[in-house]
Amino acid sequence: MELNVKEELIQDKLPIPKNEMERILSLSELDLDFSDPQTHFKDLAKLAAKVAGTSISLVNIIDSLTQWTISNYGLDVEQMLRQDTICQYTIMTDDHFEVPDLTEDERFKDKSFVTGEPNVSYYYGIPLQVTKGLNIGVLCMLDHQKRVLEPEKIELLKIIADEIVGRLKTQKVLEGLKAKLLESHHTQQKVAHDIRGPLGGIIGLASIIRDQGEDNQMEEVLEFINLIHKSGNSILDLAEEILSAHKPQKKRVGNSLNDFNLLIFKDKLEKLYKAQAVNKHIRFEVITTLETESVPFSKNKLLQIAGNLISNSMKFTPVGGEVIVNLDLVLNDFSETLIIKVKDSGIGLSQDAISSILSGTSGTTDGTGGEHGYGFGLALVKHLIESLKGSLTISSEPGEGAVFCVELPQN
């Protein structure tokens, strides 16, 4: 077994890269939506299995608490606690991580996927590097028996891993281009709508002058000309507005270009975190505000912010407890504010703990079900909220649960 590690172990020897905060920030820049099927990686997952000669191949992305499988071949899996994975060790290396026999490795021999279905015993993983040393996930191959991979096959697998990262980056670029095209389309519609009125007025007034011919009275003609002049100026003003739109200006955070609203937000959160709640026997509910649930806004980083808060609340909520998420979009005359409130019936927080979270100095604590923490989830949330010019407040008492409230301006 080879492992070129840059390792820093905490608690029960959990592997955490020394650049973990930088790693999850680089992942956040991709702004992945784990609730959407990643069909464009299916061919690569299958190809990796065929090259390695294994029955299973997975494309896994690892955030602060969870391993998300965005594509799979030979094994139907969507997510797993990071602490239970083999891939958490692979992101510690710059090259690869191989376990010839999982049944004899103290770290993995008691894992459910080794002792039960799918009864795997061999593992080979290659980190997915966005840049040197920043591993956001893993391309891994698993099998029921030991495999020996020739150097040529290993090189092919590394090429596949690079292609996966390339497609992730391309996907982000394409989403940006799509947003710009939609913006251009909306601008065209606005221009057509805004120009139609003034032009219609000019044409109508000119027609009146033409039809009246010699019957035109000078005063009426002058009035018509004055109205034509005003309509013409309104078109010039509109042209100036269009031209000034290309000048640098403050970018609006919220817009309709992402086709995102409270109902879609709710659906995605339920798809992503319902399984975690069921596994821990926690009641999980997402509630939206009826009046604004269909109003569009930007989805930028929202799944990461809400997801980390939900995972954190579930971590500290005991069996039989509940995690309730309230989503609201407050509309004022000149502003819109998205409010995400995550309330749990967990063990609660002391004022010192709240202060540590808000100051960015909080550490890591085990959850009520033995879940291990990596200490970066809430730090990422705080960073993302601040980057979006938002705010985070926390109210709690030990033993009374906690409420995390995020307010994000959308304009």
What SS3 string covers the chain?
CCCCECEEEECCCEEEECCHHHHHHHHHHHCCCCCCCCHHHHHHHHHHHHHHCCCEEEEEEECCCEEEEEEEECCCCCEEEHHHCCHHHHCCECCCEEECCHHHCCCCCCCHHHHCCCCCCEEEEEEEEEECCEEEEEEEEEECCCCCCCHHHHHHHHHHHHHHHHHHHHHHHHHHHHHHHHHHHHHHHHHHHHHHHHHHHHHHHHHHHHHHHHHCCHHHHHHHHHHHHHHHHHHHHHHHHHHHCCCCCCCCCCCHHHCECHHHHHHHHHHHHHHHHHHHCCEEEEEECHHHCCCCECCCCHHHHHHHHHHHHHHCCCCCCEEEEEEEEEECCCCEEEEEEEEECCCCCCHHHHHHHHHCCCCCCCCCCCCCCCCCHHHHHHHHHHHCCCEEEEEECCCCCEEEEEEEECC
The answer to whether the CB of 16 falls within 8 A of the CB of 9 is: yes
- What tokens were used for 324? 């309730």
Q: Which domains does the chain carry?
A: 7-174 (3.30.450.40), 179-244 (1.10.287), 256-409 (3.30.565.10)
Q: Is the pTM value of this prediction over 0.75?
A: no
Any idea of the CA torsion for 250, 254, 255, 256, to the nearest 10 degrees?
170
- Predicted local distance difference test score (pLDDT) of residue 253: 39
- Predicted local distance difference test score (pLDDT) of residue 370: 63
What span, in angstroms and rounded, lies between the C-alpha atoms of 305 and 289?
Answer: 19
Instruction: Return all residues near 47 (Cβ < 8 A) that are at least 6 apart.
Output: 160
- Predicted local distance difference test score (pLDDT) of residue 238: 56
150-178 in b/e burial notation, b at 16+ Cβ within 10 A? eeebbebbbebbebbbebbeebeeeeeee
Q: How far is CA 76 from CA 67, 266, 312, in A?
A: 14, 24, 26
283-288 and 322-331 as β-strands: parallel, antiparallel, unpaired?
A: parallel
What's the start-to-end Cα distance of the chain, in Å?
Answer: 53
Q: Helix 151-212 crosses helix 218-244 at what angle (to 10 degrees)?
A: 170
- Which residue shows structure tokens 């990796």? 48
What span, in angstroms and rounded, lies between the C-alpha atoms of 212 and 376?
Answer: 77
What span, in angstroms and rounded, lies between the C-alpha atoms of 24 and 20?
Answer: 6
The answer to whether the CB of 373 falls within 8 A of the CB of 367 is: yes
- Is the dihedral angle over the CA atoms 365, 369, 371, 376 positive or is it negative? negative
What span, in angstroms and rounded, lies between the C-alpha atoms of 232 and 243?
Answer: 17
- Which residue shows structure tokens 């926690």? 282
Q: How far is CA 318 from CA 98, 182, 278, in A?
A: 36, 45, 12
What span, in angstroms and rounded, lies between the C-alpha atoms of 114 and 123?
Answer: 11
Sequential pLDDT tens for the chain (411 residues): 344 444 344 344 689 999 999 999 999 989 888 888 778 899 999 999 999 999 999 999 999 999 999 999 999 999 999 999 999 999 999 999 999 999 999 999 999 999 999 999 999 999 999 988 899 999 999 999 999 999 999 999 999 999 999 999 888 887 777 767 766 655 555 555 555 555 555 556 566 655 665 565 656 655 656 666 555 555 555 555 555 554 444 444 334 444 689 999 999 999 889 888 888 889 999 999 999 999 998 888 899 899 989 988 998 899 999 999 999 999 987 889 999 999 999 888 888 888 888 887 666 666 666 666 555 778 888 989 999 999 999 999 888 899 999 999 987
- Which residue shows structure tokens 């997952």? 45
**Phi and psi at residue 260, to the nearest 5°:** -125, 140
C-beta atoms surrounding 368 within 10 Å: 16
**Phi and psi at residue 201, to the nearest 5°:** -65, -45
- Which residue shows structure tokens 């879609």? 264
